[in-house]
Amino acid sequence: MKRKKIAVLTGAGVSAESGISTFRDSDGLWENHNVQDVASIEGWYRNPSLVLDFYNARRRQLVDVCPNAAHIAIADLERDYDVTVVTQNVDNLHERAGSTRIIHLHGELTKVRPENCCNDRDGFSEATVFDIGADEIHIGDMAPNGAQLRPHIVWFGEAVPKIEAAIDAVEAADILLIVGTSLQVYPAAGLYRYAGADTPIYIIDPKDLAVRDSRLTHIKDVATKGMETFKKLINSKS
């Protein structure tokens, strides 16, 4: 029997319960920094040292946090379903929880690339991206091509190279699950619109929704508890 496909769109609310902060809940500040200073291409051009120091600290933080029950519950869905995780998060907690198919829309914190490897089609060359784990990078740390290394992060003002792969995953899904995202950051916020007309959509978020759609079932709870409710709902319908 062919397994049903679930696309899981995750945001900062999933990792928040592991202790990773989100700037959306603190008046545009991210770890006491203006988000435009540390998460925009303009911020990189203005002060690359500040940006590098900021992401060095985020990598160090990642060593001290662990996947929570929501990450693990999402990974466990693979026992019964064909699962693709589309995440707005740049941490590696989905990987560490056991998820095997992950699309990182906004890049990956443990990876770096040359600052000059961009192109018009896909925003960067995958061949130039490499994993540094929790190591630091500083001004003067160069890639093999001689360019300054930068975080492999999609900042405000940059294209989202993997948005097409994410759209494909949502269009193919039999069930769409959205966890821990306010659906405010585009283009990711518009992804649910690509779900099929008869595709059930479940949103786990403790806040009131800013969107209205007849396909939506709102589980008004934090990610860890919401995943328990979601599993009960889909088990009752299987």
Q: What is the mean pLDDT of each run of 10 residues along the chain (238 residues)?
A: 92 90 54 82 94 94 94 97 96 97 95 77 69 94 91 90 94 96 72 92 89 86 96 84
Q: Output the pTM of the full model.
A: 0.90
pLDDT of res. 32: 72
Q: How far apart are CA 115 and CA 63, in angstroms?
A: 25
User: What pLDDT shows up at residue 169?
Assistant: 97
* Separation of alpha carbons 196 and 173, rounded Å: 8
Q: How far is CA 21 from CA 16, 18, 120, 139, 201, in A?
A: 6, 9, 32, 26, 26
Token pair recorded at residue 90: 């740049």
By annotation, the residues acting in catalysis are: 106
DSSP state string for 213-233: -TTEEEE-S-HHHHHHHHHHH
User: Using an 8 Å Cβ cutoff, are 44 and 150 in contact?
Assistant: yes
In order of start, what are the domains of the chain with their CATH numbers? 1-20+67-106+160-238 (3.40.50.1220), 21-64+111-153 (3.30.1600.10)
Count of Cβ atoms closer than 10 Å to residue 109 Cβ: 22
Q: Give the pLDDT score at 189.
A: 75
The residue type of 235 is N
Predicted local confidence at residue 23, as pLDDT: 55
Burial 123-141 (b: 16+ CB within 10 A, else e): bbeeebbeebeeeebeeee
For residue 235, CA distances in Å to 16, 102, 113, 238 come to: 27, 23, 43, 5
**Per-residue pLDDT at 28:** 46
d(CA 230, CA 236): 10
Q: How do beta strands 201-204 and 130-131 pair?
A: unpaired
| In contact, 75 and 99? CB cutoff 8 Å | yes
What's the pLDDT at 80?
95
Give the pLDDT of residue 74. Answer: 98
d(CA 52, CA 38): 9
C-alpha span between 182 and 171 (Å, rounded): 20
